[in-house]
């Protein structure tokens, strides 16, 4: 009996030895409990129950036992933990920052024999802000304004910052108002917190074309802007030239028959036209307009004076006669180069029934571009640092498209073919001339652009009346119709044709 008591006493002591918890200070044990420390995690309010908030960790460096985790107390009832320590929300539960920005609960790390507990804190943060713009992309014209609207979430106390990646093309203010300045592609970005959204804006240049539309036997002065037509005058009128100044004011020079008299007019924006002259009742016409950086207007044309038409320059609507008054003359174009004013046109040869091509500079230079032995007219001029380029025609066994330059240099753009050069523009080292020409075995005149003397017809019939270079793009205005008959007003951009939608002619193109 005594021996049996001893055996049972030893077994009892062994059982006591292996089952004691390490948190019981008076016990003695061999297995070492896992070490788990208080831990915290930061998480956004808008997570779902599949999101792993974090992994609770514990170590058992002595025994290397497998550790499992469990939540022993959680007053919120929001959380669950996997045996491996992955912490997440219980299904259907969610966090709410406004209710509680912190949750604390107890997690036990257990090695299969003994365990220890630690306090786990989950800090709730407001979700990241989001931002969306109402347009991913837009197309605008230069000088236009558009407002981008941003829709945000989780950004009640944050300010939206607006930026443009190219302020030479477009600027944006603090309210998302975009002002376009030049043609190109620009990215407007709205940023709130660490979230951003962008809109790509393509800024196209405005294309202005002055000319006329034909209704029956009547021509009406019109202005096309980006393909939209505005009638400037109705009843026997014509718009000959358009110019847009640095402040985007739009000027048009032309004429209208008023009380049966051809009257030179200048239109500005949507204002009533300014009467330049009616030639004392004998008629007058405004053919070209140029505006300098001070806003001074220069209009070339002609007006009647005692039965003779004088070539005229109206400077700020004040008329100046530039021809000698001996024979009729007309100024078709005007150009400013520094402080010098250049005009070109024609003047009738005395005692002859034809004209010679003319150049006038300021008030004191009068140049004959042709010798007066045959019909010739100068229609257009471009000046670059004192070097001038003048286009027109001269009758040399037929009408020839001509280009005149300094030092009496003249070039026939058409030799065998007939033609006329109506407009000239210089861009860098390249000379662009627009006009019309025939081709062999054809009586049709082809609207043509010559680049450095090389012709490129853009249609089967008609005429190019005006050339404008914008960047690397070539804009041509004119019409398409056989044998100079009034046809369909046209715009060609890099050779691609656009029907302006009316019978008539595009006389002048300006791009800005």
Q: HSE (CB half, 13 Å, CA atoms) of 41?
A: 22
pLDDT of residue 294: 96
The span from the CA of 384 to the CA of 393, in Å, is: 22
Per CATH, 32-125 and 130-204 having the same topology is answered yes
Please state the domain extents for the chain.
Answer: 1-30, 32-125, 130-204, 207-511
Rg (CA), the chain: 43
Which uninterrupted H or E stretch holds 270?
none
pLDDT of residue 110: 97
207-511 topology per CATH: Neuraminidase (2.120.10)
Report whether 507 contacts 239 (CB < 8 A).
Answer: yes
The span from the CA of 492 to the CA of 505, in Å, is: 13
CATH of domain 32-125: 2.60.40.60
Residue 171, CA distances (Å) to 36, 100, 144, 416 in order: 57, 43, 11, 53
- List all residues 6 or more positions away from 217 whose beta carbon is below 8 Å from its beta carbon: none
Q: Can you say whether the dihedral through the CA atoms of 16, 17, 22, 23 is positive or negative?
A: positive
| Entry pTM | 0.81
130-204 topology per CATH: Immunoglobulin-like (2.60.40)
Q: Which residues pair with 119 in a beta bridge?
A: 106
Report whether 29 contacts 22 (CB < 8 A).
Answer: yes
Query: Residue 110: how many CB atoms within 10 A of its CB?
Result: 21
Helices first, then strands: H and E counts in the chain: 1, 43
Query: Residue 260: how many CB atoms within 10 A of its CB?
Result: 9
**Euclidean distance between the first and the last CA atom of the chain, given in angstroms as a whole number:** 119
Which uninterrupted H or E stretch holds 27?
none
Q: Which pair of structure tokens corresponds to residue 388?
A: 């001038």
Coil, strand or helix at 13: helix
Nearest to 47 by CA among 120, 105, 104, 128: 128
The span from the CA of 119 to the CA of 71, in Å, is: 10
At residue 330, what are phi and psi to the nearest 5 degrees? Answer: -145, 135
* 241 CA to centre of own chain: 25
Q: Which pair of structure tokens corresponds to residue 7?
A: 């055996």
Q: Which residues pair with 308 in a beta bridge?
A: 305
Report whether 273 contacts 295 (CB < 8 A).
Answer: no
The span from the CA of 122 to the CA of 183, in Å, is: 53
The span from the CA of 127 to the CA of 6, in Å, is: 68
The span from the CA of 290 to the CA of 270, in Å, is: 18
Report whether 489 contacts 500 (CB < 8 A).
Answer: yes
Query: Residue 175: how many CB atoms within 10 A of its CB?
Result: 11
pLDDT of residue 485: 58
Q: Which pair of structure tokens corresponds to residue 410?
A: 């003249």
Residuewise pLDDT in 10s, the chain (512 residues): 333 333 333 333 333 334 444 444 555 557 899 999 999 999 999 999 999 999 999 999 888 999 999 999 999 999 999 999 999 999 999 999 999 999 999 999 999 999 999 999 999 999 999 999 999 999 999 999 999 999 999 998 899 999 999 999 999 999 999 999 999 999 999 999 999 999 999 999 999 999 999 988 899 999 999 999 999 998 899 999 999 999 999 999 999 999 999 999 999 999 999 999 999 999 999 999 999 999 999 999 999 999 899 999 999 999 999 999 999 999 999 999 999 999 999 999 999 999 999 999 998 899 999 999 999 999 999 999 999 999 999 999 999 999 999 988 999 999 888 999 999 999 999 999 999 999 865 668 899 999 999 999 999 999 999 999 999 999 999 999 855 556 899 999 999 999 898 899 999 999 99
Which uninterrupted H or E stretch holds 278?
none
The span from the CA of 132 to the CA of 148, in Å, is: 10
Q: HSE (CB half, 13 Å, CA atoms) of 309?
A: 24
The span from the CA of 368 to the CA of 408, in Å, is: 9
Question: How deeply is 52 buried, as exposed, middle or buried, from its count of CB atoms within 10 A (0-12, 13-18, 19+)?
Answer: middle
The span from the CA of 203 to the CA of 270, in Å, is: 24
């Amino acid at each position: 009996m005594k021996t049996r008591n001893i055996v049972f006493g030893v077994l009892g002591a062994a059982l006591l030895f292996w089952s004691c918890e390490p948190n019981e200070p008076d016990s003695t044990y061999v297995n070492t409990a896992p070490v788990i420390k208080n831990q915290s995690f930061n998480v956004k309010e808008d997570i779902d129950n599949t999101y792993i908030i974090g992994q609770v960790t514990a170590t058992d460096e002595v025994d290397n036992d497998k550790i499992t985790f469990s939540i022993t107390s959680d007053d919120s009832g929001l959380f669950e933990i996997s045996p491996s320590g992955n912490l997440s929300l219980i299904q259907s539960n969610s966090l709410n920052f406004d209710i509680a920005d912190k949750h604390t609960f107890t997690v036990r790390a257990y090695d299969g024999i003994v365990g220890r507990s630690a306090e786990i804190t989950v800090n709730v943060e407001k979700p990241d802000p989001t931002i969306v713009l109402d347009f991913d992309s837009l197309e605008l014209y230069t000088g236009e304004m558009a407002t981008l609207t941003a829709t945000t979430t989780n950004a009640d106390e944050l300010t939206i910052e607006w930026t443009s990646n190219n302020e030479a093309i477009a600027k944006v203010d603090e309210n998302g108002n975009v002002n376009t300045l030049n043609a190109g592609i620009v990215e407007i970005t709205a940023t709130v917190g660490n979230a951003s959204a962008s809109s790509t804006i393509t800024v196209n240049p405005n294309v202005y074309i002055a000319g006329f539309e034909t209704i029956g036997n009547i021509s009406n002065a019109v202005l096309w802007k980006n393909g939209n037509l505005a009638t400037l005058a109705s009843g026997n009128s014509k718009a000959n030239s358009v110019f847009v100044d640095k402040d985007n004011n739009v000027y048009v020079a032309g004429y209208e028959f008023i009380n049966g008299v051809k009257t030179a007019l200048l239109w500005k924006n949507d204002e009533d036209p300014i009467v330049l002259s009616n030639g004392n009742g004998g008629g007058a016409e405004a053919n070209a307009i140029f505006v300098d950086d001070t806003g001074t207007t220069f209009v070339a044309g002609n007006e009647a004076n005692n039965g003779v038409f004088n070539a005229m320059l109206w400077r700020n609507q004040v008329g100046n006669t530039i021809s000698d008054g001996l024979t009729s003359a007309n100024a078709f174009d005007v150009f400013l180069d520094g402080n010098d004013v250049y005009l070109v046109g024609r003047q009738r040869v005395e005692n002859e029934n034809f004209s010679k091509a003319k150049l006038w500079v300021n008030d004191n230079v009068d140049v004959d571009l042709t010798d007066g032995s045959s019909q010739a007219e100068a229609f257009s001029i471009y000046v670059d640092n004192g070097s001038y380029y003048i286009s027109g025609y001269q009758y040399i066994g037929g009408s020839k498209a001509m280009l005149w330059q300094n030092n009496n240099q003249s070039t026939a753009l058409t030799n065998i073919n007939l033609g006329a050069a109506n407009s000239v523009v210089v861009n860098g080292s390249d000379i662009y001339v627009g006009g019309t020409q025939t081709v062999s075995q054809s009586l049709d005149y082809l609207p043509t652009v010559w680049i450095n003397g090389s012709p490129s017809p853009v249609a089967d019939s008609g005429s190019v009346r005006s050339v404008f270079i914008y960047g690397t793009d070539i804009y041509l205005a004119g019409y398409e119709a056989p044998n100079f008959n009034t046809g369909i007003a046209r715009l060609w951009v890099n050779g691609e044709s656009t029907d302006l939608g009316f019978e008539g002619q595009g006389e002048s193109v300006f791009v800005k």
